[in-house]
Structure 1
Amino acid sequence: MKKSWFGSGFLLLSLSLVLLLSGCSSKGDAVASEGTTGDKPATLKIKIADINTNATFRVAVDKGIFAKHGIDAELINFGTPAEGVNALFIKQVDVAYGADFPVLNAVAKGDYSIIASAGLATDAAAATWKLFVRDAIQQPEDLKGKNLSFMRGTFLPYLWDEYLKENHIALGDVILTGQGAFDEAYIALKQGDVDAAWFSGSALSDKLNALEGVHELTDMSKTTVRLGMGIVTSNDFAKQNPEGIANFLAAVDEAATYAQANPDEAADIMFKEVKQPKESTLKDLPTNPWKVGFTQAAYDSLANQKKYMVDTGIIENDFDLGSKLSLEPLKQALPEAVTYEK
């Protein structure tokens, strides 16, 4: 009886050890493979520069689109996209977006790359940029001698330059005052500290249309200026996270498509997150669709803006634009959206 009990006990102990070791082995294999194999991508933490009127990133967060693509997104808010691009320099953010002007300003400074275009301004998109002026200004000629606002680090000096030239006004005939955000420009215009300023977005336009002593003079669609929009990151971040950037761009593209297909839901998200009136989001979405990719037209828009910036001394040292494009992650994520070839 003793022998039988001892043999049975030994057998049970052996089986228990085998099962325990097998369990440990299976658990270890699962931990090692998590995020690196199968359908779920590895998680990458990305700090993303954003502004209050952009629905794309907030939809991507709220609807779990970033999470699905393995992106742990932290949105950091700025007054303008240009401020967000500038935040790259102090490593406050990992990725930023903006018009050609601030994006080129970033890559001209050294170790930064354009990873995608987010679209080109159509006439409808250009029309959302409106010039509001004090009531004493009834025609372009009345701008002579006046104080004109622009957002520092943005394309607005270029827009002013082109608009004034089209109306035969020299830059020396006006005063240009740099400001940090639209809210600052709004208050300055309201108080009469500046006489004219460009604004974009339905929420601001509605406030300005209701403002006493101020009216809309024109909009950008009536000028020759059209904008591209780019997404930019540091070279180090691009080199260290090619797969993560591909996943990020795929998520942004999916969120942009979702926002356009579900405008009411996007408007609800924007109201919940930043208290933007729903009607403002519904007005802005159709005229400012994000289109992630990179085309010859996107390159040409950047090249034309770069020429202006070099010619006027805004960019001191010219550079090869092609060397500032890091499009491999985009080609991996959205191959059909990349039609530009060097």
Structure 2
Amino acid sequence: MRKRMVGLGLAVCMLAALVAGCGSGGQKTEKEAPKAASQEIVAYGVIDPQISAQQIIADKKGFFAAEGVKVTNKLIQSGGDISPLISGGTAQVSFETPYTDIAVAANNVGVKIVAPMADIGNTQAVVAGKNVTIQKAKDLEGKKIGIAAGAGVLIAIRNMCAELGVDINKIQFVILSPSDQIAALDRGDIDLMACWEPWVSNAVKAGGKLLFSGLNSYLPDKQGPVSWLSFYTTMQVTDQFLKEHPQEIQAMLRALKKATDFIHEHPDEAAEIIAKEINLDKEQVKKIMGQNKYSMQFDDHFKKSSDEMASFMKEMKNIPSKPEFKQYADPTLLKQALPELVTVAE
């Protein structure tokens, strides 16, 4: 998931447009939809169903056009490449994760998350090698875990250790890229790997055993839903774009909500559309998307998760200082366009 994030490497994201339908509020905003924008809006995203799902659906299903905005998606290979584009002013509208927003905000770049797209914490996971036996969480002590530098999945590991009484200091972390983790796990050079999709699925296909993710545990002594890591994907805009194009942003948000609803109501068609756009197998895309919680709910949980990420980044020395939430997130336009989605405390 986030390759780029390795700085959080996981995760990483899309909250695109969650909620499921428009309701009566949706009918009202339809009437208030702005006329077609006089200029094209280029929306940067990632070739990843976790980060750019709603963005792709809103384009291919005509939701952007129906809301009166001309949007051209520009999908790039790595989410990590979006940060410099935001900093340089090229990516005025983009889809990524709070990791990116926190990083640029910490370096005094004006950017604001206007809506979350999805919680992809379930795709950030730990997989044991095929010859490794884990009978209880404590068995992780003394083991070698491959992990990307700064990967956010470490948050899930730390929270798991705290809850289940595992001494994290007795776990040896080996810094490896996702592809190198797969190879090292197969050779037995590491006992486990901590990564994100599609690497997690690839490791399981090779004989590995899924132990836990940010949102679910399969450990013998802890099974079921957990809250070890919520990793969001988001839509963000530069401060200048926010100031100059509020109507266009609101129109995009309404279109993204329609896309979110479409993902929930038509998962097969959504996976097919996205798979074709990013050149991946439909079934693989559907499986990955099925693990995510697509929602644009701007709530206290989203704020708490972002704050936890910021603290983690500061601790890992990924940023010089921890920015306040309001420095990189602003729900004002989402509240105006779709008030039912904003419940975060002021």
TM > 0.5 between the two?
yes
Give the aligned partner of residue 47 of structure 1.
43
Q: How many residues align?
A: 298
1:51 positional shift: 3.2
> Which letter maps to 1:74?
N
Aligned residue for 1:300, secondary structure, equals: helix
Give the aligned partner of residue 163 of structure 1.
160
The 1-side partners of 2:186 and 2:85 are apart by 29
1:199 positional shift: 3.9
The 1-side partners of 2:238 and 2:303 are apart by 19
The 1-side partners of 2:311 and 2:256 are apart by 29
Give the aligned partner of residue 64 of structure 1.
62
The 2-side partners of 1:116 and 1:287 are apart by 23
Selected match of 1:270 from 263, 269, 274: 274
Moved more, 81-90 or 283-292: 81-90
Distance change (3 Å), C-alpha of 1:309 and 1:204: closer
Distance change (3 Å), C-alpha of 1:120 and 1:260: closer
1:206 positional shift: 4.3
2:153, 2:195 within 8 Å by CA — same for their partners in 1? Answer: no
Which structure 2 residues correspond to residues 91-106 of structure 1 after superposition, within 5 A? 91=89, 93-106=91-104
Q: Does 1:249 align with 2:239?
A: no
Distance change (3 Å), C-alpha of 1:340 and 1:209: closer
Distance change (3 Å), C-alpha of 1:73 and 1:309: same
**Could you report, residue by residue, the CA deviation over 1:296-339 in whole angstroms, capped at 9, with x for unpaired residues?**
33223323433444456554323332233233332333233222
Q: Does 1:216 align with 2:210?
A: yes
Which structure 2 residues correspond to residues 35-184 of structure 1 after superposition, within 5 A? 39-54=35-50, 55-69=53-67, 70-79=69-78, 81=79, 84-85=82-83, 87-91=85-89, 93-118=91-116, 121=119, 126-139=121-134, 140-141=137-138, 143-144=140-141, 146-152=143-149, 154-165=151-162, 166-171=164-169, 173-179=171-177, 182-183=178-179
Give the aligned partner of residue 279 of structure 1.
283
1:100, 1:301 within 8 Å by CA — same for their partners in 2? Answer: no
**Could you report, residue by residue, the CA deviation over 1:22-80 in whole angstroms, capped at 9, with x for unpaired residues?**
xxxxxxxxxxxxxxx9743434322312233233222122222233331322232334x
Distance change (3 Å), C-alpha of 1:195 and 1:95: farther
**Could you report, residue by residue, the CA deviation over 1:215-260 in whole angstroms, capped at 9, with x for unpaired residues?**
3233332354131523333323333333332222222222111122
> Which letter maps to 1:158?
I
> Which letter maps to 2:256?
V
Selected match of 1:226 from 184, 207, 229: 229
Distance change (3 Å), C-alpha of 1:255 and 1:38: closer
Name the % identity: 18
Bigger relative contact order, structure 1 or 2 (CA pairs below 8 A, ≥6 apart): 2
The 2-side partners of 1:93 and 1:164 are apart by 38
TM-score, scaled to structure 2:
0.71
> Which letter maps to 1:232?
Q
2:115, 2:331 within 8 Å by CA — same for their partners in 1? Answer: no
User: Which one has a larger percent helix, Structure 1 or Structure 2?
Assistant: 1
Distance change (3 Å), C-alpha of 1:281 and 1:301: same
Consecutive unaligned residues in structure 1, runs of 5 or more: 1-36
1:269 positional shift: 1.2
Aligned residue for 1:47, secondary structure, equals: strand
> Which letter maps to 2:172?
V
Distance change (3 Å), C-alpha of 1:289 and 1:240: same
1:99, 1:154 within 8 Å by CA — same for their partners in 2? Answer: no
Q: Which has the larger radius of gyration?
A: 1
The 2-side partners of 1:316 and 1:335 are apart by 35
1:131 positional shift: 1.5
